[in-house]
Amino acid sequence: MDNTITLPAWVFIILVLFAGVMVLDRMLMPSLRWYLRRRVKKVMDEVSSRLDIAIRPFQLTRRQGLIDQLVFDDQVIEAVKTYAVENDMPKTVAQEKAKRYAHEIVPAFNAYIYFRLGYWLARNIARLIYRVRVGFYDAKELKNIPEDASVVFVMNHRSNMDYVLVSFLVAEKTALSYAIGEWARIWPLQTLLKAMGGFFVRRNSKNPLYRKVLERYVHLSTRAGVCQAVFPEGGLTKSGALLEPKLGFMDYMLREFHPEFDKDVVFVPVGINYDRVVEDRSLIRRLDPNAKRRNQWYVIKTTLAFATKMLLLSRKLRWRRFGYASVNFGRPISVKQYCEANEVKFDEADSTHRFEQVKKLADTIMGHIAAVIPILPIALISEVLLENKNIWKSELDLKSQALQKIELLRKKGAPIDISSGASEGVLNNALTMLVGRRLVDVEENLIRPKEEALVLLEYYANSIKQWK
């Protein structure tokens, strides 16, 4: 009797695939996981040996553990109860909302991705687009920051390139955690930024439960000593000038701070400036109330088109960088020392008084940021052109006026990183950039700004207007 069983081809294929998966899971995956863990450990050991500010255990905690810690935080639980009552919904529904917010906010930090992929991308993108320079920093002051302190780099916000530039420049010192707006919530950028320690923020949300979850995450990460980067202006400057600080994040960090019992929080002022901001025309366009709003897909499309053009030109050796991108680091501000000097106790003040005190500290920090924003050639030339907007001037006259401004700024102690010997060449390059961007008219070796370019020139001149 024939006992042969015939299987359909599709069943046979499924069985083979299933067997393959089992072999992969039992034999190959453990080896692969071991290999990857070994690679990650090697990177971590290498990185830890050279970082000035160590990666905190909080950053290396499993993401789900951080989410659970956040969702079951006492203050979040109270906020859930209140939210459920005020919105007439079951507590379980409000709890799920809080959990969803926590998933949205909490990053998925991966040291290997940060220091291998992220650093490589940041370095190459920054160097491809700009001549990157660090104007100055006080190495001694930065070294004196207590090892257990929570360090917060506080910077002006001129471009989305700020994230890239500062991450690249401080990668030898520490791993930064950023608050990122909803503009970046697109795949795969979102995944990459979360792996690099970024956490997404709904900047204009009025939802009290969401705000409480965000507040507690910022508080927990600050208390754990995580090194953070904060833009106190809240968003990109559209006029080019510094904006008034928004107090939310700083208040989250300090509302429970006690100078005698808590580890120190140290704010490091950072000034950033560019000869050319990649998205400058888009920013000033937003100043026009009649301008048509462009959707996210338009932004993505134009960004990809720019990146493609940049890569093609670089391969043909025809790509010209956008001038200087410069960063200065100011003197660190210890919150403990500030509280002692000004007799401030944030944790004991009521909300009104606390906000007043946070505002005073924020204004102090913004003053320190303003004092270290680099003064770059394009800003100087733009200011000179605006002073002569209705007059045809020779290149020599424009450079002469710019050199006079440089000397005046030096006397005021302004952060100008242009050596006397290189001034003329640097100013020549700046004028060439403006001519290439068609922001000025040139006739018989005389120069005058175009009428339609005045707003853009003012945008660049405003970056140094604090020194007028």
User: Are 382 and 397 found together in one domain?
Assistant: yes
Asked if residue 55 is part of any domain, the answer here is: no
Does residue 258 sit in the same domain as residue 393? no
Which positions ≥6 away from 236 have C-beta within 8 Å?
157, 158, 159, 160, 279, 283
Q: What is the DSSP letter of 380?
A: H
Do 98 and 142 belong together in one domain? yes
Same domain, 394 and 329: no
* Residue 196 falls inside a structural domain: yes
One-letter amino acid at 417 equals D
**Interatomic CA distance for residues 321 and 327, integer angstroms:** 17
Residues 239 and 359 in one domain: yes
Structure token digits, residue 210: 């969401």
- 407 inside domain: yes
Residue 387 domain boundaries: 377-467
Are 361 and 413 found together in one domain? no
Q: How many CA atoms lie within 13 A of 241 on its CB side?
A: 10
Taking CA atoms, 226 is separated from 86, 217, 254, 454, in Å, by 34, 11, 14, 43
Strand pairing class (265-274; 228-230): unpaired
Contact 228, 299 (CB under 8 A): no
* Residue 5 counted as domain residue: no
The residues that bridge with 329 in the sheet, in sequence order, are: 270
Whether 415 and 398 map to the same domain: the answer is: yes
Task: Provide the pLDDT for residue 83.
Answer: 96
Q: Could you tell me the sign of the dihedral formed by the alpha carbons of 91, 96, 100, 102, in that order?
A: positive
Q: With contact defined as beta carbons under 8 Å apart, do 327 and 165 qualify?
A: yes
Query: How confident is the model at residue 255, as a pLDDT?
Result: 93
What is the CB neighbour count within 10 angstroms for residue 215? 20
Confidence at residue 260, expressed as pLDDT on a 0 to 100 scale? 86
Name the one residue in this structure whose structure tokens are 């100043």.
287
Tell which of 372, 407, 436 closes a domain. 372
CATH number at 461 reads 1.10.10.10
Q: Could you give the 3-state DSSP secondary structure of residue 325?
A: strand
Of 173, 171, 361, 336, nearest to 269 (Cα)? 361
Cα 440 to Cα 451: distance, rounded to the nearest angstrom? 9
Q: Measuring CA to CA, which residue among 415, 356, 340 is closest to residue 133?
A: 415
Residue 324: exposure state from Cβ atoms within 10 A (0-12, 13-18, ≥19): buried
Residue listed under structure tokens 């005190």: 357
Distance of CA 350 to the CA centre of its chain: 31
Instruction: Indicate whether 68 belongs to any domain.
Output: yes
Query: What pLDDT was estimated at residue 9?
Result: 67
Minimal CA–CA distance to 443: which of 371, 391, 382, 408?
391
> 271 and 414 share a domain?
no
Q: Verify that 385 and 362 share a domain, yes or no.
A: no
**Beta sheet of 440-443, edge-to-edge order:** 393-394, 446-449, 440-443
Residue type, 54: A
Q: Kindly give the confidence (pLDDT) of every residue in the chain, 468 residues in length, as a single tens digit, with 9 standing for 90 and above.
A: 455 555 566 656 766 676 666 666 665 556 655 665 666 666 666 666 667 778 888 988 889 999 999 999 999 999 999 999 999 999 999 999 999 999 999 998 888 888 888 888 888 888 888 999 887 777 788 888 888 899 999 999 999 889 889 888 887 788 888 888 776 677 667 788 888 888 888 888 889 999 999 999 999 999 999 999 999 998 899 999 999 999 999 999 999 998 888 999 999 999 999 999 999 998 998 887 777 776 666 666 776 776 676 666 665 555 678 899 999 999 999 999 999 999 999 999 999 999 999 999 999 999 999 999 999 999 999 999 999 998 999 999 999 999 999 999 999 999 987 776 678 888 999 999 999 999 999 998 899 999 999 999 999 999 999 998
Asked if 366 and 429 sit in the same domain, the reply is no
Domain identity same for 216 and 344:
yes
Last residue of a domain, one of 372, 394, 412: 372
pLDDT of residue 12: 60
Q: With H, G, I as helix, E, B as strand and everything else as coil, classify residue 227.
A: coil
d(CA 155, CA 439): 29
H-type helices in 258-346, by residue range? 280-285, 296-315, 335-342
Cβ-proximal residues to 227 (8 Å cutoff; 6+ apart), any chain: 53, 56, 150, 151, 152, 153, 174, 175, 176, 177
Number of structural domains in the chain: 2
Looking at the fold, whether 272 and 419 belong to one and the same domain comes out as no
Other C-beta atoms closer than 10 Å to the C-beta of 232 total 25
Calculate the alpha carbon distances from 306 to 269, 297, 299, 365 in Å: 31, 14, 11, 35
- Is 32 within the bounds of a domain? no
What CATH number is associated with residue 362? Answer: 3.40.1130
**Strand 446-449 versus strand 333-334 pairing type:** unpaired
